[in-house]
Each structure stands twice: as structure tokens, then as C-alpha cells.
Amino acid sequence: MKQQGRDEQEFAFIKEKIKDKPINKRRMLLRMGYNLLCAVIFGAAACFVFVLLKPYMEEWLYPEKESTISIPKDDLPQNEGNNKEEEGQENEQQNEQEQPDVQGNSGEGVQTKPEEQQPPAVVVEELELEDYQALQNKLYDIGKQANKSVVTVTGVTSSKDWFDTPYENENRSAGIIIGNNGQELLILAEKKIIANAQEINITFIDETEVSAFLKKYDGNTGIAVIGVPLAEIPKATMEKIEVAVLGNSYMIAQGTAVIAIGSPLGTSYSILCGTITSSQNRVSTIDTNYTVFTTDIVGSASGSGVLLNLKGEIVGLVLQDFSNQNDRNTITALSISELKQIIEDLSNNRDVPYIGLRISTVTDQIAREFGIPKGVYIKSVELDSPAMRAGLQEADVITAINGEEVTTVEQYFQKIYAMQPEDTVSITIKRQNGNQYVDLECTVIVGILQ
């Protein structure tokens, strides 16, 4: 016990009592204020960043989808002569039923002699010069209304001269507003105007100028669809422009009155009136043929624009590159009905399939006279084309595509156009071997004409 008490005395100095540190209220209040200030600054910065990035985040998370452009197609009239003949017979029968019995009794039992019948009086009104001017004014009113769909397309290219001095070159042409997909205004124009352009500008009828971009183009016809973001177009301009209406060019015949708008003489928003001088010409292009309308409207070799019917609808696309060399001083246009499918697909970002053949239909008469099998005759094969790589040759006759019979250029185009680039298509041909034709099959990989 004595030893234990001694130990407690020896180590008693290490015993201590720990007390809580007194609270510094001033320091605590300063720290709370500092944290509160940091929270306010952080919240304000986060709010500012959120508001700034909200439109971009919404566009990224919930992108608006472009609406698909759809263009109604026209049916090629068939048996037109028979329909007219039947109509004439019906009118003739109707006239016979309405004509009274001149030799017998009429419905009321009254006899009528032929000599007592008087021909209807014909009133002839002489036209004055004012009447001609009034008619001209009506034609120009159609063109003025349609000019709301016309724009000026400018392609800007940069280059350097011999002294290494940079300069800009501008090419201009008329374009036509053909659609609105909800995000962009779609413009139809010629690709050559914007070829290799570093900048594309669109000028509307109210002289508003905005930037644009190339969507798709057809390397065969040279037509292109240009996109203009709707966000870049002022509201006042949108109220002054209109989307053009594509008409039925299958109804166009020789002598039809038409109106040329756009830039047929090189001046924007020109209006020229005339008539169709020929509607049966065909031009052979790659993988298909098109109807070419010639007119008596004076134009330039670099003219551009469209032809309108008297309803203000587009019936022809002015493409002077397809005119005869002797007709460069008059307006020439391709049938719009035959271009509608291509225009629709270009507007919806679809590439035009390409095989690389210039072709014509072997009619019954040609088959009899020259001993050529019925089908699609190959006039030429484009260099370095999918057709050439597949072994197709000039003077071959296509008789089937993917096992389905083909007898006309129209059938060939419909089947090829239903393909997608990189698709594989089997083309059955007849090739002359001495005095006879042998059947061959070629496998072609569909491409895109640049």
C-alpha cells in the first residue's frame, strides 16, 4: 500500500483536464459570410453559363428534324389522240340529238323548213391598241408575281493575279425558291455558278443578302439545290418572298404562250413573253434523255431562269448548255416534269445514282430496219464510269435490269434511279458477235457523278 501511494505521487504531474476551446464568434461570422458570398458568386456564374448555353444544349439534346420536301409528279398523257376522237364522237352525237327534225315533226309537232332557219349572228369586235397593251400588262403581272420566287445567286471565288495580288471573282445567276423544310429555304440554281466558290450569297427581291451553302447537285444536268438558314433571313424578307409552284410541262405544246423570268438576258428579274416553237426535241444525257423546249424569246448564251405558263407555274428550267449551238440566241428550257424527282431528291439530300451510259430506245421500226434487238441501245459509254468498269460497250443492247425486262429509256431510268450509290445491279445485254447477238450479264456498282 505504501508503494502504491508513492507511485501515485510520482506520476501525479501528468494528470490534466482538457477544456473546450472557446468559440471565436467574430471569426465564425466572417467564415459564414465568406461562404455565403462564394455561394452567391457561384450561383450567379452558373446561372449565366446556363442561360448562355441553353439554346445550344437544346439544339444538341433535342435537334429539330428537317421536314421532307415532296413534289407532286405528273403523269405522261397516254392515248391523247383516242381521247380527243372519243370526245369528238360524243360531241357529234350530242349535236345530232339536239338538232330538230327539219323534215318531219319536232318535239312540239311543228314543221320547220330548212330555209326558215337563220344562222346565229356573229358579232366581231375590233381590237384596239389599248387592248393589246392591256393584254401585255396582264402577262407582265404574272411575271411580277412570280418574281417573288426569284433570287440572285452569287458565287465568290478567291484567286491571285500574275503579280501574286489576291482578288475576288463573282459569278451571278438567277435562282428559284422551290421549298422550305422548316430549317432552310431551298434554292434551285446551276452548279457552274458556284463551282469552287469559297462563299455563296443569296440576294432576295428586296435586296436583302444572306449567306448560303450547297446541299446537293446533279452532275448530269448541272442543277444544284442551295440551302439558306431561315434564322439568317429577316422576317420582313420572308413576307415578301414566295415558294415557286412547279407545273405540268407535259401539257406544253407548240404554240403555247410562255413567260421567261429570272435572268434570261443577263439582267436579274427580267420578264420576257413569247411562245413555244418546239416541244418534241429530245436531248441525250447520261443515263436518261430529256425533253427540250425551244422558244422565240431572245436570250443570251449565259441566260438563266425558268419558263412560266399563264397560271404562273414553272414548266421549264432554262439551261442554255442543252441548246443547239445555232439556237444560243433564243431561250431553251428542259421540261420541269421530267426533273421533279431529281429536284425532290436533291432537296432531301439524296445523291443521284450514276451508271454512265448515253442511250436510246430501239423502236419497232429501228428493230426491223437495222436488225437490232428490242431494248435500250448504248450509244456511248462515259470514260471511267461504273458502266465502263463493268464491261458495257457501245452498240450493246440492254434487255433487262436485275432480271426485269427493259425496252425503253424511261424504264431504264426508273430502275436505275431506284438504286442507291454503292448498290450492285445486274444488267443483261445483247452483244453482236458476227451475224448474231449473244446474251451477256454485267454487274455494275452504282456510283455518283461528280
SS3 labels along the chain: CHHHHHHHHHCHHHCCCCCCCCCCHHHHHHHHHHHHHHHHHHHHHHHHHHHHHHHHHHHHHCCCCCCCCCCCCCCCCCCHHHHHHHHHHHHHHHHHHHCCCCCCECCCCCECCHHHCCCCCCCCCCCCHHHHHHHHHHHHHHHHHHHHHEEEEEEEEEEECCCCCEEEEEEEEEEEEEEECCCEEEEEEEHHHHCCCCEEEEECCCCCEEEEEEEEECCCCCEEEEEEEHHHCCHHHHCCCCCCCECCHHHCCCCCEEEEEEECCCCCCEEEEEEEEEEEEEEEECCEEEEEEEEEEECCCCCEEEEECCCCCEEEEEEHHHCCHHHCCEEEEEEHHHCHHHHHHHHCCCCCEECCEEEEEECHHHHHHHCCCCEEEEEEECCCCHHHHHCCCCCCEEEEECCEECCCHHHHHHHHHCCCCCCEEEEEEEEEECCEEEEEEEEEECEECC
CATH number of 353-448: 2.30.42.10
pTM for this one?
0.74
Q: Which residue has the cell 420578264?
A: 271
Closest to 189 (Cα-Cα) out of 137, 138, 228: 228
- The pLDDT of residue 28 is 74
Closest to 243 (Cα-Cα) out of 75, 74, 69: 69
Q: Which residue has the cell 440572285?
A: 152
- CATH 2.40.10.10 is held by the domain 249-347: yes
- The pLDDT of residue 74 is 82
Long-range contacts (CB closer than 8 Å, 24 or more residues apart) made by 378-386: 378/429, 379/284, 381/356, 381/357, 382/286, 382/356, 382/357, 382/358, 385/354, 385/355, 385/356, 385/357, 385/447, 386/354, 386/355, 386/356, 386/444, 386/445, 386/446, 386/447
- The pLDDT of residue 228 is 96
Distance CA(181)–CA(225), nearest Å, equals 13
C-beta neighbour count of 15 within 10 angstroms: 7
Distance CA(392)–CA(376), nearest Å, equals 13
Spatial contact of 416 and 401, defined as CB atoms under 8 Å apart: yes
Amino acid making up residue 136: Q
- The pLDDT of residue 318 is 93
Closest to 305 (Cα-Cα) out of 292, 314, 317: 317
Angle at 346 between CA 340 and CA 349, to 5 degrees: 145
> What parts of the chain have a pLDDT lower than 70?
1-25, 54-66, 78-124, 325-328
* Grid coordinates belonging to 149: 420566287
> Which residue ranges make up each domain of the chain?
148-238, 249-347, 353-448
CA-to-CA dists, residue 305 to 39, 74, 240, 345, 403, angstroms: 63, 21, 19, 20, 41
CATH architecture, domain 148-238:
Beta Barrel (2.40)
Which residues, listed in sequence order, are joined to residue 177 by a DSSP beta bridge?
Answer: 187
The reply to whether 249-347 and 353-448 are identical in fold is no
CA-to-CA dists, residue 260 to 142, 149, 266, 312, 445, angstroms: 11, 13, 12, 10, 40
Burial 107-126, CB ≥16 within 10 A → b, else e: eeeeeeeeeeeeeeeeeeee
Distance CA(182)–CA(11), nearest Å, equals 91
